[in-house]
A = this chain, B = another copy of it.
Amino acid sequence: MSSLADRIEAYLMHLLARSQDGYVEVRRGELADRFSCVPSQVTYVLATRFTPERGFVVESRRGGGGFIRIVARHPRPEQPAGLGALWRRIGRSLSQAQAEGLLRAWEEMGIVSRRQAALARHVLQQEARELAPPLDGMVRAAVVKGMLVVLSNWPAGNDGIR
């Protein structure tokens, strides 16, 4: 028997799946109402199912006109070699070699252009230069994650500044 939490999760996943932009906005109260439960049940579902580890980011606002926004990081949740894995693999820090390897791979896959790769290498160099070992890796990871944010596009996304 699927639990209430499961059904709420399924409903939200459904909304996400058919959303064109890769995110949904709901009212906690309305949801609670629809499933005839207390609002904090919704909070529970968000906290246990829509976590960053599972590839979701949740934003919310209180007060009048408040809402909860659930953002999916990737169209197809957990593909073995997909973006989710990539996010996890990057982790908190990247060596120069790791970063370059990633870039080369992306370039070969046509995920980034030659020019973007070159620019990225330049930025990596600039930013991580003269930083002591614990920090430089973090900065590299930061740069790559910034790239990933823009690259991990939901079908129908932005194409960049022309």
Contact = CB atoms under 8 A, between A and B. Distances in A.
A158 interface: yes
Contacts of A149: 116, 119-120, 123, 143, 146-147
Contacts of A143: 142-143, 145-146, 149
B115 A154 contact: yes
Contacts of A133: none
A75 B162 contact: yes
Contacts of A151: 150, 158, 160-161
Interface in A118-162: 118-123, 126-127, 131, 135, 138-162
B159 A142 contact: no
A13 interface: no
A48 to B, nearest CB: 11
Given A147-B146, A149-B123, A22 B156 contact: no
A38 interface: no
A26 to B, nearest CB: 12
A57 interface: yes
Interface of A: 1-6, 21-23, 52, 57, 59, 63-65, 69, 71-73, 75, 83, 110-116, 118-123, 126-127, 131, 135, 138-162
